[in-house]
Chains A and B, each alone.
Chain A
Amino acid sequence: SQQGEEDPQALSIQEGENATMNCSYKTSINNLQWYRQNSGRGLVHLILIRSNEREKHSGRLRVTLDTSKKSSSLLITASRAADTASYFCATDAGRTGGTSYGKLTFGQGTILTVHP
Chain B
Amino acid sequence: KAGVTQTPRYLIKTRGQQVTLSCSPISGHRSVSWYQQTPGQGLQFLFEYFSETQRNKGNFPGRFSGRQFSNSRSEMNVSTLELGDSALYLCASSLWTSGRQETQYFGPGTRLLVL
Contacts and interface: CB of A to CB of B under 8 A. Distances in A.
A106 B90 contact: no
Contact of A102 (B48, B105, B107, B109): B48
A95 B32 CA distance: 16
Contacts of B58: 103
Interface string B28-67: 0001110101000011110011100001101000000000
B100 interface: yes
The contact size tier of chain A is 20 to 34
Q: Is the interface of B mostly helix, strand, loop or mixed?
A: strand
Given A41-B109, A42-B90, A43-B106, A102 B31 contact: yes
B48 A45 contact: no
B107 A42 contact: yes
A20 interface: no
B43 A102 contact: no
Given A42-B106, A45-B105, A102 B50 contact: yes
Interface of B: 4, 31-33, 35, 37, 42-45, 48-50, 55-56, 58, 88, 90, 92, 94, 99-109, 111
Given A45-B103, A102-B45, A106-B43, 18 more contacts: A33-B103, A35-B106, A42-B4, A42-B106, A42-B109, A45-B106, A48-B103, A88-B43, A90-B104, A94-B101, A101-B31, A101-B101, A102-B32, A102-B33, A102-B94, A103-B33, A103-B48, A106-B44
